Amino acid sequence: MKKLYSLFFLLMGLLCLTSCGDDDYTYTAPETLNVTKADLYFTSSGGTGNIEIKSNNGLQATSSVDWCTVSVSGGVIAAKVAENTSIESRAGTITVSDGVLTSLVAVYQEGLACTIDTSTLKIVNDNGVNSSYITIDSSSSYAINIPSYATSWLSCIDEAGKVTFNLTANETEVPRAANVIITSGERKVTLTIAQYEFAGTWTADFLNSKGVSTTEQVEIADLGNNKFELKFKAPYANAPNPVFQCTYANGTYKIANGTAMGQYAVYYLFGIFSSEDGYFSWDTSYTYSSSFDVAEDCIISSVWR
C-alpha cells in the first residue's frame, strides 16, 4: 500500500511541474541587427537611399529584386533604385547580415504618375504669330518631340512643367500642322497643333445625290462670331449653289441639320439627316461635326460624322 501511495504522489508532482512549466513559457524572437535608419521609399524617378546598422562585424547585403542594387560601406548599405516607368508600384526586400545576425528591410517604389493639362492649348491657330501652353505634372522625367518637318515654325519652352508652344507667322497661305509627342515612361500623348485660316478654298470629297464619288473646291466664308458658310457648286444647271452654315471653334466645326440652303424655283432647300437604315429627318437637334486630322506627311483632312 505504501508503494501505491508513493507512486501516486510522484505522478501528481510530475503533473504539477509540467503544468507550471507551460504557464511560465514565453516566446523569444530571434535576435536581429540593430537598424538605426532605413530610407527606402522612392518615387517613380528612383534614386539612392541608405540603411544604417550598428554592428561590430562586417556587413553583407543582397536585394531580392533586379531594379534595386546594393553596396556596403562600413555600417551603411546604399540602395540604388532604377526609374519605374510603369504605372504600377513595386516592392522588394534587402537582406542584411553580419555573419551572426540577419535583418530584412523593405524597399518600396511608387508607380509613374503623369498628368498633362491641355485646357489652355490652342489646337488651331490663325496664320499670325501665336503661342499657347500646356502644364505637365510628372513624377518622372518626360520628353517633348516636335517632328522635324515642323521645327522651322514650331518650337517650345519648358519652364518647370509649363510648356509654351510658339508659332511663327504662316506666310505660305497653306495650312500646316504637327503631331507633337510627349513621352514619360510608358505613357505617350500626342498633341496636334495646327495653323491655318478656316475661311478660304478647300477640296471636298463626297457622294452626290446619285451616290457617285465627287471632288470639288468648296469656298468657306467667314460671317463673324465663329459662324461660317460652306458654298458648294450647283448640282446641275440653273440650280442654286448649296450653302451650309456652320459654327467653328478651336478646330471643330458643326453643321446643324434642317438649315436652309437656298431656293430653287418655287422650292426651298434644307439639309436633312440620313441614317444608315434609310431614315430621313430634318430635326435641328442633329448636327454634323468634324475636326481636322494631321497625317505624317502633313496632309490635313477631316471627316464629317
| Mean predicted confidence (pLDDT) in 205-232 | 81
* Domains contained in the chain, CATH given: 34-109 (2.60.40.10), 114-195 (2.60.40.10), 200-302 (no CATH)
Cell of 34: 540593430
Confirm if 161 and 136 have CB atoms less than 8 A apart.
yes
What would the pLDDT profile of 76-132 be if each residue is shown by its tens digit? Answer: 999 999 999 888 999 999 999 998 899 999 999 999 888 899 999 988 888 999 999
3-state secondary structure 24-67: CCCCCCCCCCEEEEECCEECCCCEEEEEEEECCCCCEEEECCCC
CA distance 207 to 81: 60
What would the pLDDT profile of 248-294 be if each residue is shown by its tens digit? Answer: 877 788 888 887 776 666 667 777 777 777 778 878 888 878 777 76
> In Å, how far are 16, 32, 64, 211 from 298, measured between CA atoms?
94, 66, 49, 30
What would the pLDDT profile of 147-157 be if each residue is shown by its tens digit? Answer: 999 999 999 99
Confirm if 176 and 164 have CB atoms less than 8 A apart.
no
Summary mean pLDDT of the chain: 82
Confirm if 273 and 286 have CB atoms less than 8 A apart.
yes
What would the pLDDT profile of 10-68 be if each residue is shown by its tens digit? Answer: 444 444 444 444 555 565 555 678 898 999 999 988 999 999 998 888 999 999 999 99
pTM greater than 0.85 (yes/no): no
